[in-house]
Chains A and B, each alone.
Chain A
């Protein structure tokens, strides 16, 4: 596995910045691809390799402006992988960022938080 997974942001896909050594991951921007599963394929691949030799602490920063339903499913899969890691007693934290007055992204974050058993912070920025 490459230590760093970096995918640049486009008009329709988010920035992906994963660092295995630091255990730090970030997905930010807009995620609107028609076929999200093919966009997120390298992300899943990287993640499953990461899970076999994870850092002591893992933090996933999610800072999304928009995401479509196809991406929602992919995000859920990523969160579930992190939940697995958490259940193996690693320190895992998800930080969900939403801009002030963005009730929609806030409620989407709350919804995801309620679906998993993992430290999940909602933070306004």
Chain B
């Protein structure tokens, strides 16, 4: 992953109020944090609580689908499909899109397709009676695979379920499933982006796999959004066999980077917006952030970054200590220490650039490798 990839991802998601892409472990704890995160963001843009509830319920079904399909394959084929499990939530205007990706066995595709087509052919009332019928029929609900989850998603969404299959090998395929919840707002500027085809989610999945992305988040970066994200990453990492020191370093770098976005991002309509992307390559983690800053801040930030990059590790440690002892607190509680801390914990130099975004602002991207 390089700096340009971050910017191109930002541009793809430019109109999103919230975008969240997650790959990896889907335990109950993590799924509840994802729901917290999305609920926080939804309530922030002043939407109806009814919609919030629908989105959360669809997410839950989505996670359960991912876990159920994945676990089945893991058990049968004795290999981990964790890295193929992906979840996307996007909010554009008043519309929500929820997409999952996971591996399924090729031999199960025809049956699944049949189920999905049937669900999509039914009216609201027909879906309800099918739901009740399956619910009361104990024989088929045994494995939880009677399609109740899919029916529930279709009912909550009120729209057709979109799906796609991409061959992985002669035994397995990726299964993509997308539900949408359309808002009621009309003449919304975002209505032109009303339809996000499922192919876009598939493209994201390909990127997620090739860059080994663990998480992408675009949205508000206040502390209430940062905390659930930290928790998720912490849990996701604890399920892997990294040593404690690496985990701690990653965590420290994450905190500084996320809070840096919150502090320095230009505020637009009460939001401190930015994008955050975290990936893993071999044994090291790639943590990157991007946010808009006003053009007049660019020179001093650039100077600061260049200075940090000119120092070696011991120079950075000295600079850290002298800044720590310097009693002056910089504006809004920041200590000016954050960037120094990031620099001294990173493996190699800080990578950054500034791309002109419009007349007054630039997109600032930063990549740190730990």
Contacts and interface: CB of A to CB of B under 8 A. Distances in A.
A10 to B, nearest CB: 10
Contacts of A105: 248
A32 interface: yes
B256 interface: yes
Interface stretch (B3-11, B78-86, B148-156, B331-339): B331-339
Q: How large is the interface on A (under 10, 10 to 19, 20 to 34, 35 or more residues)?
A: 20 to 34
Contact of A69 (B222, B230, B325, B337): B337
B249 A104 contact: yes
B316 to A, nearest CB: 12
B321 A115 contact: yes
Contacts of B338: 68-70
Given A37-B333, A69-B337, 16 more contacts: A11-B231, A34-B263, A68-B252, A68-B255, A68-B256, A68-B338, A69-B256, A69-B335, A70-B333, A70-B337, A72-B341, A76-B325, A80-B325, A101-B244, A111-B317, A111-B321
A101 B327 CA distance: 32
Interface of A: 11-12, 32-38, 66, 68-70, 72-73, 76-77, 80, 101-105, 111, 115
Contacts of A11: 227, 231
Interface string B326-366: 01010011110110110000000000000000000000000
Contacts of B301: none
Nearest to B337: A69
Chain B: interface secondary structure? helix
Given A12-B227, A115-B325, A34 B252 contact: no
Interface centre among A66, A70, A111, by most B CB within 10 Å?
A70
A12 B223 contact: yes
Contact of B259 (A34, A66, A80, A115): A34
6 shortest interchain CB distances as A-B pairs: A35-B333, A69-B337, A73-B335, A104-B248, A69-B338, A69-B341
Given A72-B337, A111-B321, A66 B332 contact: no
Contacts of B252: 66, 68, 104
A118 B357 CA distance: 51
Contacts of A72: 324, 335, 337, 341
Contacts of B111: none
A70 B223 contact: no
B265 interface: no
B245 interface: yes
A50 to B, nearest CB: 19
Nearest to B255: A68
Contacts of A115: 321, 324-325
B249 A32 contact: no
